[in-house]
């Protein structure tokens, strides 16, 4: 039972009047797992969330949340949601807004203040939401999403428009929730920002899932080269270049491209010629380049 996925999406397709927004998407979220769902605007991220919430009915395929149908009472108890754009009533205070959701989820009243403290809004608890900054409103949204210790968090572009510090705090809070056993599915098109923040990445493009796995697995499948830059000791760059080849860079370094599984071997060989080398810099493919790789795949498939 413990290994049963919190969220199970099987071959999901969702149609709008004139087009297919999602087609044949399958995705599992395990307990306490954090997954980032990446995609361009209009790739189908929000549509996927709304199908998981039970707002949209699938044209085909199946979604289960903790074994229950989306939108059923059990599914709604298990999952909490933060939409992409949200405007709480401006006349109410943060505390009043949160008390409402604590009430609807039948969580203990004491959660109101403890959650406001956790997202750093304790000071502003009694102020009207209309006076909040964008970051504060977003944090209130996150506090709302943490009400009642959910099993699954659905966060639709939770950090869009936040400054880097707020963003880091945001991910710390999400990580703490995951540490308590809560699964997280969040969407983003800030690619680097999720790189160290999630366990797995799923890439959605044109309504189809292009990739799903750990960053390492995605990188392996994409076979994007690892870039190793070796800086030579003074005057040794020629020797280094003649031994390893590669590209000469700014007079003192060479740059080598290799596949991920050759990386250790190559680095070992570089290490072995100790006197020649002053420094080694390894650049694994960034999520950005990976993302572009998988998105471009979809574009190529779309061409006739």
Partner 1 sequence: MTRLLIVFAQEMRLATRNLWVLGATGLLALFALALGFLGASQGAQYDVDVLSLTAASLSTLSVYLIPLIALLMSYDALAGEVERGTLALTLATPIRRSELFLGKFLSQTVAVGVAIGFGFGIAGLAVGLVYGAGADGILAWLRLMGASVALGAVFVGLGLMLSAFAGRISTAAVFAIGLWLVLVVLYDLALLGGVIAAGDSVFTRQVFPWLVLANPADAFRIFNLAALDAAPVSGIDGLARTLPFPPAITLAVMLGWGLGALGLGIWRINRIVP
Residues in contact with partner 1 by the rule CB under 8 A: 50, 53, 55-56, 73, 76-77, 79-81, 83-89, 91-92, 96, 100-101, 103-106, 144
Q: Which is nearer to partner 1, 152 or 162 (CB)?
A: 152
Radius of gyration, alpha carbons of the chain: 23
Task: Supply the minimum distance, in Å, between the C-beta of residue 77 and partner 1.
Answer: 5
Measured CA to CA, the distance from residue 20 to residue 26 in angstroms comes to 16
Task: Supply the minimum distance, in Å, between the C-beta of residue 52 and partner 1.
Answer: 10
Nearest C-alpha neighbor of 228 from the set 288, 196, 269: 269
Point out which residues pair with 93 in neighbouring strands. Answer: 128
Measured CA to CA, the distance from residue 96 to residue 106 in angstroms comes to 15
Task: Supply the minimum distance, in Å, between the C-beta of residue 172 and partner 1.
Answer: 23
Task: Supply the minimum distance, in Å, between the C-beta of residue 47 and partner 1.
Answer: 11
Q: Which is nearer to partner 1, 154 or 224 (CB)?
A: 154
Q: Collapsing DSSP states into helix, strand and coil, what is residue 164? A: helix
Q: Which is nearer to partner 1, 14 or 232 (CB)?
A: 14
Measured CA to CA, the distance from residue 69 to residue 79 in angstroms comes to 12
Measured CA to CA, the distance from residue 93 to residue 102 in angstroms comes to 14
Q: Which is nearer to partner 1, 128 or 258 (CB)?
A: 128
Q: Tokens 């109410």 identify what position?
A: 92
Using CB atoms within 10 A of its CB, is residue 137 exposed (0-12), middle (13-18) or buried (19+)?
Answer: buried
Task: Supply the minimum distance, in Å, between the C-beta of residue 54 and partner 1.
Answer: 9
Q: Which is nearer to partner 1, 139 or 200 (CB)?
A: 139
């Amino acid at each position: 039972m413990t290994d049963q996925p919190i969220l199970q999406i099987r071959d999901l397709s969702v149609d709008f009047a004139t087009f297919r927004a999602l087609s044949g998407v399958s995705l599992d979220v395990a307990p306490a797992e954090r997954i980032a769902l990446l995609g361009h605007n209009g790739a189908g991220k929000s549509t996927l969330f709304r199908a998981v919430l039970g707002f949209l009915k699938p044209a085909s395929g199946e979604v289960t949340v903790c074994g229950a149908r989306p939108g059923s009472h059990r599914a709604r108890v298990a999952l909490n949601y933060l939409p992409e754009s949200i405007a709480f009533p401006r006349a109410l205070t943060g505390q009043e807004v949160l008390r409402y959701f604590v009430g609807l989820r039948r969580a203990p009243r004491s959660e109101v203040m403890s959650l406001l403290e956790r997202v750093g809004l304790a000071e502003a608890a009694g102020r009207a939401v209309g006076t909040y900054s964008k970051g504060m409103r977003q944090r209130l949204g996150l506090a709302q999403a943490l009400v009642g210790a959910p099993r699954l968090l659905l966060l639709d572009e939770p950090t869009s428009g936040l400054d880097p510090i707020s963003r880091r705090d945001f991910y710390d809070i999400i990580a703490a929730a995951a540490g308590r056993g809560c699964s997280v599915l969040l969407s983003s098109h800030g690619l680097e920002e999720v790189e160290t923040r999630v366990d797995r990445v799923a890439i959605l493009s044109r309504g189809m899932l292009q990739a799903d796995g750990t960053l390492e697995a995605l990188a392996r499948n994409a076979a994007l080269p690892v870039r190793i830059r070796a800086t030579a000791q003074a005057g040794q760059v020629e020797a280094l270049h003649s031994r390893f080849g590669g590209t000469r860079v700014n007079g003192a370094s060479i740059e080598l491209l290799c596949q991920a599984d050759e990386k250790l071997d190559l680095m070992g060989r570089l290490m072995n010629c100790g006197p020649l080398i002053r420094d080694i810099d390894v650049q694994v493919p960034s999520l950005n380049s990976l993302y572009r790789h998988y998105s471009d795949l979809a574009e190529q498939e779309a061409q006739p």
